[in-house]
Amino acid sequence: MHRTYFKEGTNGALFCNGHFLGFAIELPYLENRRVISCVPEGTYSLIPRFSEKFKHHLQLENVPGRSLILLHPANNALKELEGCIAPVTQLTGIGKGLSSRLLVQKIVARCYQAFERKEKVFLTIKS
């Protein structure tokens, strides 16, 4: 994921093996503070996760000083995220996008196929 930082939020572009998948929205970077900041740049392993709220989605492992950082559907970072990452099909502003659930389903399907093949899946975040 390639990020662009703004005061109001963080926007990113998601790629898989060099192929563009869509965008991502996050909270602004506020020194990695829990609940109010996007996660620091780095490489994180992804694991499968299920909840009633988000259904099948992904969790980032080993985020420094943080826990339960998810990749889940949301279209407005400030209103719907607490430090997590939301893939979106289209950006509509800083930290805002459209059709998040559609892109999350696409990403989750790819990742779950890799998990079934016993492959590790990583998310690299950089600016």
46-96 pLDDT per residue, tens: 999 999 999 999 999 999 999 999 999 999 999 999 999 999 999 999 999
Q: What was the pLDDT predicted at 65?
A: 95
pLDDT bucket at 106, cuts 50 / 70 / 90: very high
Q: What was the pLDDT predicted at 83?
A: 97
39-59: pLDDT as tens digits: 999 999 999 999 999 999 999
Q: What was the pLDDT predicted at 72?
A: 98
8-31: pLDDT as tens digits: 999 999 999 999 999 999 999 999
CB 12 within 8 A of CB 3: yes
Coil, helix or strand for 17? coil
7-to-22, 28, 34 alpha-carbon distances in Å: 22, 6, 17
Please provide residue 99's backbone torsions phi and psi, each rounded to the nearest 5 degrees: 55, 45
Strands (E), the chain: 2-5, 10-16, 19-26, 42-51, 55-60, 69-71, 86-88, 90-93, 96-98, 121-125
Q: What was the pLDDT predicted at 39?
A: 96
